[in-house]
Structure 1
Amino acid sequence: MGKHRTPYPAEFRAQTVELVKAGRRPEELEKEFEPTAQTIYNWVAQADRSGAVSSDSQIEFISGSAGVIKLPI
């Protein structure tokens, strides 16, 4: 049986994706943080496809005239 680790929190994944989009290389981030470069590439690809990092736990906040509305994705 392979090792299993607890999934990274959605906020951590989102911040990592933002660092890549800001110009950092996944290989740099791999040395600084725990996820592998391939994992980070996967997160970026997922974010590009869906507009969010994790569709199962991400909550998007939309500002409207009625205030803040929570939309589950």
Structure 2
Amino acid sequence: MKKKYDKEFKLQAIQLTREQGKSVTQTARELGLSENTLYRWMAEFKKDGEQTFPGSGQLKPEEKALRDLQKKIQDLEEENEILKKAMHYFAKDRC
């Protein structure tokens, strides 16, 4: 089973490696992590900074924007369908 680590733990692991001059191998061994995991966390942190590791329920700003746009599209499509049905209903009464 895959272990889950919270944001604080990941940031502390990165801090140990970067600021205290410990090697990735040494830090990973001390924390019981694989080196690959720590390297991945460091790469994510380098790419996204403090926005890294948003945790469950929290999204990165671009993910939130995408989800908001998808919701807006869905809402507009539903409104469009309602208007089409209303148009057909009122057009039927005129004939």
What TM-score do you get using the length of structure 2 for normalisation? 0.51
**Partners in 1 of 2:28 and 2:17 — Cα distance?**
11
Alignment of 1:31-50 (within 5 A): 31-50=29-48
Any unmatched runs of 5+ in structure 1? 60-71
Question: Identity over the aligned pairs, expressed in percent?
Answer: 23
Q: CA RMSD in A?
A: 2.0
Higher strand share: 1
> Runs of at least 4 residues of structure 1 off by over 2 A?
none
Conserved in 1, the CA contact under 8 Å of 2:24 and 2:39? yes
Higher helix share: 2
The structure with the largest alpha-carbon Rg is 2
Q: Which has the higher contact order (CA 8 A, sep 6+)?
A: 1
Using the TM superposition, give the Cα deviation of residue 5 of structure 1 relative to its aligned residue in structure 2, in angstroms: 2.4
Confirm whether residue 27 of structure 1 aligns to residue 25 of structure 2.
yes
Q: Quick one: which amino acid aligns to residue 54 of structure 1?
A: F
